[in-house]
């Protein structure tokens, strides 16, 4: 069957052909013996694991028994350079890609010798050398990552400097997870950019205990393809040859530049969602219907009919596999459970960052606006490295709502300055895929308030990956944030504390034009996900000297914005301007306030803050964000624990009123804002 042509109109999904003895044109007869072995291995592991569950020797297992044809078929159909993004029941992906079974079993059982040092279970990990990117439990999240991998393939294919073979990304998902927003965002992004991605939906009829008919309002999920103008097809997921054929045709279609394909593979789950859930909620009639369609039985019959093997040879194969799997599982069970230390765990949260020393003399400077510092940093990084790719809403021809990237489209081209649809989660997931392929994506949140739509990708995907399986992710997220401009509740929020609370993320807030450039350049150099919160009121409201030469400000290093002896005022962002105004007021009365600009909130510079408190013996911590649960609470608590003996007055933390931000500036500034309470707080603290 020829590769499907690029659709010019919505494509109706194809129906699977009836089972025939003749092989699909994409599958050679010489492949059948190897394909049989590839099917039998995960079945042998499945059967062994079910025995261990019944014996109480294994606590949890997500069985793919009866669905092996999908995982094995997808892995068999693809080339070694292609990516696979599997799910819980896709053991056959890992075995077909040739992972050493003992090490894989140690991973699945949480024993020493696995892949994630005991930090994640089952298939929640990636293996770059096998081009596998495992799942996270938040279903649907990996489909946008596949888009990023597909975009990396497209960009590399267009680069004269890249001589690698083109590749596709094949992402699997259960039918229940197709109701998640990431499913639709990924399809939209892949369709718009014609990405070489194969989306595979394993429709086994149930999302845990909920029948598909109660969750999906159409019979065929592949119908979604027509809504995005991409190729779609329904595949008999229990026929491994049909799976191989469909995936190979989709791969050819993708690499021809014709875009993604959505493959819905009809199958059935013969076991529970996981073994503890059982199957009592599934009618017996469904087992009776699907039992005879078992993929291993069907393929064995084909091989026997073609006289590729005999019954005796099959029996010998199975006996040998059962014995090998028995020995491997016993080996894994004999290994100790994984143990560690607090130091070792903390050391792996972040990938090692470049060593940056802030120069004492930055050379010549030019007075520019805060936003010019951001623009300069982006331009410099893009000039220096073609792997820097910008993505965001309206950032190309329009230059972004704040005009940060104005002129970038003409200078760097549409491949590297990419307008995206309104989809925060999809684009952040795509950034992860790009980073896995060595790119340095920078994602602009049009307003930081909208970052909530991408919270899962940031906190659960980007933030955990290095700790779980060691992959560095050079992803920079720019987030224009903050109030004082009368923009109302949804364009004024300061939510940096949410991300400071999450491990694996670095959080940066510049307060000067020079730091707007230096911190952003350092963030783009860092092999970890970094959120850079840029205050909107400072973009055009603050001007100052910016070094003409390239400069970087080390992440995690505070600065003394003003020397003082009577009180330490720790703050960041626009709080630095408020602090400077306050310090000028008290200086006229002979009292000197020392201002510590944190600059980086995660990790933050405890040493500089402690040294300042030891000198002044008084502490006020100020930020624009809500007071309850804010960064100030953490800073104050930490400094009190470490420097209690130095304090001559109770420490004070100031933040905004715990209400949404009013549109009226006459409410925001005198009632909501922490700035209105700063004078009184400093006076009370100095009075001790």
* All residues at 6 or more sequence positions from 256 whose CB lies less than 8 Å from its CB, including other chains: 3, 6
In whole angstroms, how far apart are CA 554 and each of 475, 477, 519? 17, 17, 7
Rounded CA separation 599/559 (Å): 7
Please name which of 504, 548, 509, 546 lies closest in space to residue 526, comparing C-alpha atoms.
504
Phi/psi for 227 (5° steps) reads -70, -20
Which entry of 124, 184, 491, 623 is annotated as an active-site residue?
491
* All residues at 6 or more sequence positions from 683 whose CB lies less than 8 Å from its CB, including other chains: none
* All residues at 6 or more sequence positions from 148 whose CB lies less than 8 Å from its CB, including other chains: 429, 430, 431, 432, 433, 434, 435, 436, 437, 441
Asked if 108 and 132 count as a contact pair (C-beta separation under 8 A), the reply is no
Rounded CA separation 658/126 (Å): 41
**Can you give 508-571 as a three-state secondary structure string?**
ECCCCHHHHHHHHHHHHHCCCCEEEEEEHHHHCCCEEEEECCCCCCCCCCCEEEECCCCEEEEE
Asked if 235 and 222 count as a contact pair (C-beta separation under 8 A), the reply is no
Cβ count within 10 A of residue 210: 14
Rounded CA separation 591/683 (Å): 10
- DSSP letter string, 350-385: SPPPP-----S----EEEEEHHHHHHHHHHHHHHH-
**Rg of the chain (C-alpha set):** 29
Asked if 482 and 494 count as a contact pair (C-beta separation under 8 A), the reply is yes
Rounded CA separation 439/153 (Å): 11
Q: Is 288 exposed, middle or buried (0-12, 13-18, 19+ CB in 10 A)?
A: exposed
- Measure the CA angle with vertex 276, ends 271 and 277; round to 5°: 65
In whole angstroms, how far apart are CA 287 and each of 204, 279, 393? 12, 10, 48
- Concerning whether 491 is annotated as a catalytic residue, the answer is yes
User: 3-class DSSP state for residue 629?
Assistant: coil
* All residues at 6 or more sequence positions from 499 whose CB lies less than 8 Å from its CB, including other chains: 458, 459, 505, 507, 531, 602
Rounded CA separation 426/184 (Å): 9
**Can you give 28-97 as a three-state secondary structure string?**
CHHHHHHHHHHHHHHHHHHHHHHHHHHCCCCCCCCCCCCCHHHHHHHHHHCCCCCEEECCCCCHHHHHHC
Asked if 279 and 63 count as a contact pair (C-beta separation under 8 A), the reply is no
CA dihedral over 289, 290, 294, 295, signed as positive or negative: positive
Rounded CA separation 279/297 (Å): 22
Q: Active-site residue numbers? A: 491
């Amino acid at each position: 069957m020829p590769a499907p042509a690029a659709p010019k109109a919505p494509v109706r999904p194809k129906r699977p052909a009836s089972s025939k003895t003749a092989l699909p044109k994409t599958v050679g007869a010489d492949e059948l013996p190897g394909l049989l072995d590839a099917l039998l291995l995960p079945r042998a592991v499945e059967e062994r694991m079910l025995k261990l569950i019944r014996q109480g020797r294994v606590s949890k297992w997500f069985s793919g028994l009866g669905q092996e044809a999908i995982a094995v078929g997808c892995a068999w159909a693809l080339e070694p350079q292609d990516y696979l993004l599997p799910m819980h029941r896709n053991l056959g992906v890992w075995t077909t890609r040739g992972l050493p079974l003992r090490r894989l079993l140690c991973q699945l059982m949480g024993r020493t010798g696995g892949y994630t040092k005991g930090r994640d279970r089952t298939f929640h990990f990636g293996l770059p050398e096998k081009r596998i990117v495992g799942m996270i439990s938040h279903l649907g999240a990996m489909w946008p990552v596949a888009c990023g991998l597909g975009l990396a393939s497209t960009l590399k294919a267009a680069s004269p400097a890249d001589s690698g073979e083109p590749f596709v990304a094949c992402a699997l998902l259960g039918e229940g997870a197709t109701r998640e927003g990431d499913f639709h965002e990924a399809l939209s992004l892949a369709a718009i950019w014609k990405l070489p991605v194969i989306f595979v939906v394993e429709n086994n009829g149930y999302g845990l205990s909920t029948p598909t008919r109660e969750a999906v309002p159409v019979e065929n999920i592949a119908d979604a393809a027509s809504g995005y103008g991409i190729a779609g097809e329904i595949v008999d997921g229990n026929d491994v040859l049909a799976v191989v054929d469909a995936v190979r045709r989709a791969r050819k279609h993708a690499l021809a530049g014709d875009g993604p394909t959505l493959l819905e593979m009809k199958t059935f789950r013969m076991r529970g969602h996981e073994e503890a859930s059982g199957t009592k909620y599934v009618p017996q009639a469904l087992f009776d219907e699907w039992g005879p369609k078992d993929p291993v039985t069907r393929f064995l019959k084909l091989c026997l009919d073609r006289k590729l093997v005999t019954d005796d040879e099959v029996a010998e194969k199975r006996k040998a596999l059962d014995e090998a799997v028995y020995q491997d599982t016993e080996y894994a069970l004999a290994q100790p459970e994984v143990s560690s230390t607090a130091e070792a765990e903390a050391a792996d949260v972040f990938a090692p960052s470049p060593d940056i020393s802030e120069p004492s003399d930055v050379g010549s400077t030019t007075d520019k606006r805060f936003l010019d510092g951001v623009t300069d940093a982006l331009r410099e990084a893009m000039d220096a490295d073609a792997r820097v790719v910008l993505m965001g809403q309206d950032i190309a021809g329009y230059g972004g709502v704040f005009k940060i990237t104005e002129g970038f489209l003409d200078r760097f081209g549409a491949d590297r300055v990419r307008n995206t649809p309104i989809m925060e989660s999809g684009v952040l997931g795509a950034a992860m895929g790009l980073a896995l392929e060595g790119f340095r994506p920078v994602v602009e949140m049009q307003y930081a308030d909208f970052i909530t739509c991408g919270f899962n990708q940031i906190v659960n995907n980007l933030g955990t990956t290095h700790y779980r399986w060691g992959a560095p992710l050079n992803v920079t997220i720019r987030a224009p944030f903050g109030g004082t401009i009368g923009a109302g509740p949804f364009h004024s929020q300061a939510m940096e504390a949410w991300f400071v609370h999450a491990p694996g993320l670095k959080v940066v807030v510049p307060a000067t034009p020079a730091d707007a450039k230096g911190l952003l350049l350092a963030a783009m150099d860092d092999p970890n996900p970094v959120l850079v919160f840029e205050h909107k009121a400072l973009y055009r409201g603050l001007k100052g000297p910016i070094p003409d030469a390239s400069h970087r400000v080390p992440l995690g290093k505070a600065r003394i914005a003003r020397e003082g002896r009577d009180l330490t005022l720790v703050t960041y962002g626009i709080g630095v301007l408020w602090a400077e105004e306050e310090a000028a007021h008290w200086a006229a009365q002979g009292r000197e306030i020392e201002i510590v600009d944190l600059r980086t909130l995660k990790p933050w510079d405890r040493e500089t803050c402690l040294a300042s408190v030891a000198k002044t013996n008084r502490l006020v911590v100020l930020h624009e964000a809500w007071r309850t649960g804010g960064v100030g609470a953490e800073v104050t608590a930490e400094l009190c624990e470490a420097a209690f003996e130095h304090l001559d007055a109770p420490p004070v933390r100031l933040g905004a009123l715990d209400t949404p931000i009013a549109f009226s500036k006459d409410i925001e500034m005198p009632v909501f804002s922490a700035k209105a309470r700063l004078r009184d707080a400093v006076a009370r603290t100095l009075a001790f």
